[in-house]
A and B are shown apart, each in its own frame.
Chain A
Amino acid sequence: MVILELIWFQNLITGVYIALCLSLLLAFIRLLKGPTLPDRVVALDLIAYIVICFIATYTIATGKEAFLDAAIVLALIAFLGTTAFARYVQQVGHTKKPDESL
């Protein structure tokens, strides 16, 4: 592919990587700080989607299509993980009082 060798395209890819790293860091800070469990679940979900973006960007940058399958699997499974977490929050919410460190 010709476009992969252009300087502006490579700079663009680097810029995308930096932006994704920044958003990953911010999502990670939210995961650490909380303050509630739903916040952390949303942060984990966001991290999964940023990783998908990473894989997609890498696929565009290198032209290796095999990585895209990992992105598809992650996109399908990340949804399942969030759902399972939501179910857990629902169950904990029933047994514990809402003010007890959720």
Chain B
Amino acid sequence: MMKSLILQTATKLLFPLLLLFSIFLFLRGHNDPGGGFIGGLVGAAAFALFAISSGTEKARELLRIDPTFMIGLGLFFALLSGVISMYAGTPFLTGHWAFPMVFGAEMHLGSPILFDIGVYLVVVGFTLAVIFSLEEEG
């Protein structure tokens, strides 16, 4: 933990920006460069920055979920996206799409996004688990 006013002020500005950009990268990954992995890395960088400026305890409080639990949750989501296709009688991890009408517009909901959420959670959880334990040791 660094007691620096400059760093803490900069973190206040950068933290929401990094998280927003991480979600943007995550959602755009469907058709353009981006995706769960790089989005997760940017999201983890946001929390790492917060952990450096304000300490790991506050960062853990902000995250609410334990990083190790996050890895398991991500793997569960990824597995879920595969199991859906098994119930439809197609091979494991086949993409399935639903087209519900939301507020008068057709929405394309698919199982690949569920897999991507899993990747996102695993990357954030793993990176933060490593960074937090390294920070707490030093």
Q: Which residues of B contact A91 (CB under 8 A)?
A: 138
- Number of A residues near B (Cβ < 8 Å) is 14
- How many A-B pairs have beta carbons closer than 8 Å: the answer is 36
- Complex Cα distance A73/B7, Å? 19
Among candidates B18, B33, B45, B52, residue contacting A87 with C-beta atoms closer than 8 Å: B52
Q: Please list 6 pairs of residues, one from A and one from B, whose beta carbons are closer than 8 Å in the complex, sorted by A's number.
A: A73-B25, A76-B21, A83-B53, A84-B52, A87-B2, A87-B52
Asked whether A73 lies within 8 Å of B38 as measured between CB atoms, the reply is: yes
**Chain B facing A: main interface SS:** helix
Asked whether A83 lies within 8 Å of B45 as measured between CB atoms, the reply is: no
Q: With both chains docked as a complex, state the minimum distance between the C-beta of A42 and any C-beta of chain B, in angstroms.
A: 16
**Chain A interface (Cβ within 8 Å of chain B)?**
66, 69, 72-73, 76-77, 79-80, 83-84, 86-87, 90-91
Q: Which residues of B contact A83 (CB under 8 A)?
A: 2, 7, 49, 52-53
Asked whether A77 lies within 8 Å of B52 as measured between CB atoms, the reply is: no
With A66-B33, A69-B25, A84-B52 as given contacts, are A77 and B138 in contact (CB-CB < 8 Å)? no
Asked whether A80 lies within 8 Å of B2 as measured between CB atoms, the reply is: no
